[in-house]
Amino acid sequence: MEDHQRTRVIAAAVGVFAEKGYPATTVDDLVNAARVGVGSFYALFGGKEECLVAAYESVMKEARGEAIAAADGSAAWAHQVAAGLRALLGWVQREPIKARIALIEIQSAGPSALEAREETLAEVTGFLARGREARDLSRPLPETLEQTTVSGIAWLLHRRLSTRDVATLDSLYGELARLILVPYLGEEWAEREIAARAGALTG
């Protein structure tokens, strides 16, 4: 029962936070949208920040699922990166409300929200950093490479969502894949991986 209600509140909260923005959202807004009592809300969440973090975890679970489903876990790292990127761009394009929670609202709340976001960033940068193993290390890559790439793309998506300009996000696949992969693979290899993925998914 409680699980069912929790799911319902989270689903409603995604819509409310995305529409009003986290700072302007009140617990009243959340309980009204979810049609639950204030008491039930506080039985589930300590407050609106905890509810936002739960909404964030829920949308991230979906996004992560999309990326994992698209990327063959046994395939080479570069394949997985390219397929995962493509899946994520598609998800943001199809689910701008959920993506808004994942990329924008989570940044307007307090420390526990920022911590949840840091965990996601660490997970993604950690996965990208595995590309360093594939590289012949004549010269080390910049230490901040993954952080720069991931937060840079997050900023780009943030702006697109904020200006409601997501209809053609999937067309950025090639140039963003290049931005991510070239440092690890060099240009020639990276192009080959990107073309392979683009063909596999559109064909």
Partner 1 sequence: MGSQYRHPVPEREADKSGAPPGLPRLPPGRHGLDRDFVVKNQRDRLTAGIIAAVARHGYHGATVSKIVAEAGLSRKTFYSYFSSKEECYLQAFDLILDHLVATMREAGGEHEEWPALVRDRIEAILETFIANPDLVRFAVVAPVQAGDEMTAHQAVGMERLLAELTKDKQADGARRVSAAVEQAQIGGMMAVIAHRVETGEEKRLLELLPDLVELFLTPFLGEAEASSTASLA
Binding site residues, partner 1, CB under 8 A: 21, 23-24, 104, 107-108, 139, 142-145, 147-156, 158-159, 162-163, 172, 175-176, 178-179, 182-183, 186-187
Beta strands of the chain (E only): which ranges? none
Report the phi/psi class of residue 36: left, alpha or beta, with left for phi > 0 and alpha for psi in -120 to 50: beta
User: Are 17 and 52 contacting, i.e. CB atoms less than 8 angstroms apart?
Assistant: yes
Residue 8 or 178 with smaller CB distance to partner 1 = 178
Residue labelled with tokens 């070239």: 182
CB of 158 to partner 1, least distance (A): 7
Whole-angstrom distance between the N-terminal and C-terminal Cα of the chain? 45
CB of 200 to partner 1, least distance (A): 23
Query: Which amino acid, residue 151?
Result: S
Residue 80 or 149 with smaller CB distance to partner 1 = 149
- Residues whose CB falls within 8 Å of the CB of residue 184, separated by 6 or more in sequence, listed in order: 78, 131, 132, 134, 135, 141, 190
Residue 32 or 162 with smaller CB distance to partner 1 = 162
CB of 160 to partner 1, least distance (A): 9
CB of 148 to partner 1, least distance (A): 4
Residue 5 or 183 with smaller CB distance to partner 1 = 183
